[in-house]
Structure 1
Amino acid sequence: MNLPFQALNPDLFTRAQALLDDEWLTKDADLAPVLPTVLARGVGQDWHKAGTFRHHLVGVARSLALWQQPRHVRLLGLLHSVYGNAFVDLVKFDAATERSRLQALVGQAEEELVYLFCTASRREFVQKVLAGQIQADGSLPLHTNQGEAITLAPDVVAAFIIVSMADTIEQWFSWQDDIYSRFPDTDTTRQQPVHWMASLWPGPMRPSGRMLHQINRLGLALQHPALKDRLPMPPVFNACTAPLGASDDAAAASLYWSVIQQDQPLVDLDVATGVLEQAVRLNPWVGEPQMVLAQLYLSAGRREDAARAATSALQAFCSWGNAWDKRVQWDAWVAWTRILLQGATADGPGAWPERLDKLNNLALREAA
């Protein structure tokens, strides 16, 4: 088959398992003390892209926890928009009157990092990182949302890149491709009604055909000599060393979606299988195409191939901590992938059933 399947990292899987618990955040010694104050601001009632603002904040923090980021970076993920920013008018703390309260809760340096993330121009930050404009010492000249010139220190640049990667993978799907077309270079002369007419929320919920490439380029920027050893490297794109081309990202997403939409015949699986195999060759870094491919292999009786595909899909899911295909949540993708892996490797009750009426009896019986 010559497919770029990955092995499962046991340590990464163990970390991901702990985060499958809905209450994982309440068990995090660094983040749990902050959670009640954040929840008291109504974040669970605010709409945000593919869910609520609570879903978003927790999802970003989950990826950062999975990526073994230090306390100040995980706190930044949990609080990254609480003062609002140029894109989200979800002000949960008034920067004019409540900064001292947040400082008392998380620490002065940690709060200052959150405030800087909210007030610095995120659009300009992403544009400059993608353009390779990080200085030799790792710093980055920038402006605030009000136009004030600032310079981000190398530690801050590394933290902002990693949080931006987690922020993007948690929230971005096809609706945002339309509403925020070509971000960060969105055409500001185009009137907003044009964007609204392009997609009614949530739309078809296709995976984005372009933002994984952008996340990839942010990750590659962490290989800058002045940045690469400042924070743990996210375990995506082969520890942020492997490129993902823009055309490969777009083509893989399109091929995957054509199978999901059943544009390919599924009574005989050879065409759909070939399409998904090509999607995986183009983009081996997300789990959903490999998971669906594992299901097709199982349906065709190709258990060894299914086991390899499901194992690789599980590795990809455990690397991100968030779903690429947002039709269902990350933990559901992980659960079904483990069922497929069990069905491909087990004999007896755990094996993949040959009759459709036995699908309802599937239950996870193994740890992986």
Structure 2
Amino acid sequence: MPIPFQTFDPDLFARAQPLLDDEWLARDPELAPVLPTVLARNVGQDWHKAGTFRHHLVGVTRSLTVWQQPRDVRLLGLLHSVYGNAFVDLVKFDPASERARLRELVGESAEHLVYLFCTQSRTQFVQKVLGQGMEADGSLLLDKDGTQHRLTPYEVAAFTIVSMADTIEQWFSWQDDIYSRFPHVQHRPQAVHWAASLWPGPMRPTGRMVHQINGLSKALKHPGLKDLLPTPPVFGHCNHHLSAANEAAAASLYWSVIQQDQPLVDLDVATGVLESAVRHNPWVGEPQMVLAQLYLSAGRHDDAKQAASSALHLFSAWGNSWDKRVQWDAWVAWTRILLQAAEGGPWPERLDKLNNVALRGAH
């Protein structure tokens, strides 16, 4: 069975490449004017899942930028929790007194999206979108305090896309446990489940949330939502299905190699396990990147080139990493090293010389 590698899209990589620079946001003409006000609220000091709140806001916005979303949706990504919400107790702007200030800073349409996203039930929103609860025109009814609020089709599309970016940026195994089965979370006593509570835990990639992101992506094909906003380039531009079982299998297979649960003298078993992981879930880059390195070690340069090119395409498509042990830009950097070697560049035979590898040219 052939391995479902992705075809590298140079235009997609060209959009992602400038975002590897830590200062990209400060140079973005639409977002840079907002950045000082956001940073002044100490977002770089607040904890948030696998990093800080600043890392999270920037990471969500990075995905939305790669996905070519318009200004108001990207601003929603940058500010999506600043009024607080049911998921976090962070309140960076008081919705009772500072809406006018934020409106003046970002404009009425963007502030309106931010306010709705923070104050409406996102759990209910995700439940209804995944359950195909939109109206025929793409609008969606949400209940809050006994009152119904109708989200417009544009708001539904924007919230769906931002929810996709929000999830891929932050979710890893710790949340798989403490938020188990989101958006249908059961209340469990923390002291009883103390082992699951220990942050950051083993830092495995999520075993269930890429499937949920896939479900959100398919909702964008609703006739009332289609073409309202640019389609994210993930899952083959949201055209392909990923089952929960395939995601779980792929994550488990990948992690078994990372944890060295396979024979260590020869690499044939680990290679086969990773190939199986990619067949189960061909939509995340990390298994393909590791597979590319195994191919290089085996002298299979053509296969390594195909795997590394596909991994680089997927990292570019997401704008965030699936495996949160290192940041997205580090995954991209190592993948480019592997691609360079697969295309005829140097690849060390000595183990210690891996410490010396460096990117050369335009890979």
> Which residues in structure 2 correspond to 1:88-127 (within 5 Å)?
88-127=88-127
2:228 is the counterpart of 1:230 = yes
> Which residues in structure 2 correspond to 1:149-228 (within 5 Å)?
149-188=148-187, 190-228=188-226
Could you tell me which of 250, 258, 261 is aligned with 1:260?
Answer: 258
Other-structure match for 2:43: 43
Give the secondary-structure state (helix, strand or coil) at the position aligned to 2:291.
helix
**How far apart are 1:196 and its partner, in Å?**
4.1
Structure 1: which amino acid aligns with 2:296? L
Give the secondary-structure state (helix, strand or coil) at the position aligned to 1:33.
helix
**How far apart are 1:181 and its partner, in Å?**
0.7
Separation in 2 of the partners of 1:156 and 1:195?
37
Separation in 2 of the partners of 1:222 and 1:164?
12
Could you tell me which of 355, 359, 365 is aligned with 2:360?
Answer: 365
Separation in 2 of the partners of 1:264 and 1:355?
22
**How far apart are 1:83 and its partner, in Å?**
0.2
Other-structure match for 1:141: 141
Give the secondary-structure state (helix, strand or coil) at the position aligned to 1:142.
strand
**How far apart are 1:352 and its partner, in Å?**
1.0
**How far apart are 1:147 and its partner, in Å?**
4.5
**How far apart are 1:359 and its partner, in Å?**
1.8
Segments of structure 1 that go 5 or more residues without pairing to the other structure are: none
User: Is the alpha carbon distance of 1:179 and 1:223 closer, same or farther for their aligned partners in structure 2, counting shifts above 3 Å?
Assistant: same
2:69 is the counterpart of 1:74 = no
Separation in 2 of the partners of 1:151 and 1:192?
36
TM superposition score normalised by structure 2: 0.98
Give the secondary-structure state (helix, strand or coil) at the position aligned to 1:193.
coil
User: Is the alpha carbon distance of 1:117 and 1:196 closer, same or farther for their aligned partners in structure 2, counting shifts above 3 Å?
Assistant: farther
Give the secondary-structure state (helix, strand or coil) at the position aligned to 1:151.
strand
**How far apart are 1:198 and its partner, in Å?**
2.0
CA RMSD of aligned residues (A): 1.0
**How far apart are 1:286 and its partner, in Å?**
0.3
User: Is the alpha carbon distance of 1:337 and 1:316 closer, same or farther for their aligned partners in structure 2, counting shifts above 3 Å?
Assistant: same
Deviations 1:285-324 (CA, angstroms, capped at 9, x unpaired): 0000000000101111111111100000000000000000
User: Is the alpha carbon distance of 1:173 and 1:344 closer, same or farther for their aligned partners in structure 2, counting shifts above 3 Å?
Assistant: same
Separation in 1 of the partners of 2:216 and 2:76?
17
Deviations 1:114-144 (CA, angstroms, capped at 9, x unpaired): 0000000000000000111111100000023
Query: Do 1:138 and 1:227's aligned partners in 2 also have CA atoms closer than 8 Å?
Result: yes
Structure 2: which amino acid aligns with 1:183? F
Query: Do 1:345 and 1:351's aligned partners in 2 also have CA atoms closer than 8 Å?
Result: no
**How far apart are 1:266 and its partner, in Å?**
2.5
Deviations 1:207-239 (CA, angstroms, capped at 9, x unpaired): 000000000000000000110110000000000
Deviations 1:262-303 (CA, angstroms, capped at 9, x unpaired): 001132001000000000000000000000000101111111
Segments of structure 2 that go 5 or more residues without pairing to the other structure are: none
Structure 1 vs Structure 2: percent identity of aligned residues?
A: 75
Separation in 1 of the partners of 2:128 and 2:4?
32
Other-structure match for 2:16: 16
Say how many residue pairs are matched. Answer: 363
Separation in 1 of the partners of 2:42 and 2:146?
30
Separation in 1 of the partners of 2:139 and 2:219?
12
Deviations 1:50-84 (CA, angstroms, capped at 9, x unpaired): 00000000000000000000000000000000000
Separation in 1 of the partners of 2:322 and 2:361?
25
Separation in 1 of the partners of 2:191 and 2:179?
12
Separation in 1 of the partners of 2:21 and 2:332?
12
